[in-house]
Chain A
Amino acid sequence: MKYFFLLIIMSSFGFMFYKGLKIDPSIVPSNLIDEETPNFQLKKVENYPLFDSKDLLKKEIKIVNFFATWCGPCKIEHPQLMELSSSFRIYGIAKKDNPQNITKWLKSYGNPFDKIGLDNDGISSIEWGVYGLPETFLINKDNKILYKHIGPIMKNDLEKINAFLK
């Protein structure tokens, strides 16, 4: 009986350790899922229309993408954003970037964003719970966060994202 009890305890520990091994510690799940989008203030990027909190009140599904021109993975996801921009409104938040570099970037790779804003001090990124780049939020018609994609959106992620947005 004693050994049976010990076996049960040890196997539960074993099971938990095994489950723990499969968790990717670099991905911190968003604490804002099903919550309303936070308030934020951004700076204008040259001639592009400025993105602000009020834009998210529109009764439609939209995407908010955090990026920077100095971020390598952001370049990898850019074609996927271009593809998504044909079906959804995408708003861009550039983190700690240079407005001239953003203009150059968008002219070279195309502009998937409806509106853009610059978060120079990182405060708006904290407000959204962003800790790395790129990060993408899917927002429903009622201004609630449906899903957060951490890291670059790859071609095989498009199906998952489209399923969320339907």
Chain B
Amino acid sequence: MKTILIVIFFLYSQVQSVEPDEILADQELENVARIIGKELRCLVCQNEDIENSNADIARDLRILVRNMLSEGKTKDEIISYIHSRYGDFVLFNPPVRFDTSLLWVLPVIFLMLLCYTFFRKKH
């Protein structure tokens, strides 16, 4: 039981790479910074967000996000600025556009296909 609890603790515990000197004094802004950081992909570590990455570029982006928030910029303005510099790759949720439509449509097609196959099998 103890081991299971320890495993569950490690599975669900959040490892953050934010350094103490990066944390904003304003708790509300810091919370927004963490939400933004979770939406941005670290460019050199592939599937890690910038909040959880130790890479140099992730640290620079975290500091930039916090500086922009302190200057009064909104979440959308900050994400759109970083998106303009690094493109869709930096976003965990790529925008829905004609060239990204397959990303959104294919899983639906695949699900429909699966349902169709199972439905046909039953009858």
Contacts and interface: CB of A to CB of B under 8 A. Distances in A.
Interface residues of A, number: 22
Interface string B62-73: 011000000000
Q: Which of A9, A29, A32, A129 has the most CB of B within 10 A?
A: A129
Contact of B113 (A6, A96, A123): A6
Closest 3 A/B residue pairs (Cβ): A31-B87, A122-B60, A131-B43
Contacts, number: 50
Given A126-B64, A131-B43, A132-B44, A32 B85 contact: yes
Given A2-B120, A131-B43, A131-B44, A9 B87 contact: no
Given A126-B85, A132-B57, A9 B44 contact: no
A28 B89 contact: yes
A interface, over-half SS:
loop
A30 B87 CA distance: 7
A28 B113 contact: no
Contacts of B56: 96, 122
Given A9-B109, A122-B56, A131 B86 contact: yes
A55 interface: no
A38 B57 CA distance: 18
Contacts of B110: 9, 13
Contact of B87 (A26, A28, A127, A128): A28
Given A2-B120, A132-B44, A125 B87 contact: no
Given A26-B44, A31-B86, A132-B44, 14 more contacts: A6-B117, A9-B110, A9-B113, A13-B110, A25-B46, A28-B87, A28-B90, A121-B63, A122-B60, A123-B60, A126-B85, A131-B86, A132-B43, A132-B57
Contacts of B60: 121-123, 125-126
B113 A129 contact: no
26 contacts: A2-B120, A6-B113, A9-B109, A9-B110, A9-B113, A13-B110, A25-B46, A26-B44, A28-B89, A29-B89, A30-B87, A31-B84, A31-B85, A31-B86, A31-B87, A121-B63, A122-B60, A122-B63, A126-B61, A126-B85, A127-B85, A128-B85, A129-B85, A129-B86, A131-B44, A131-B86
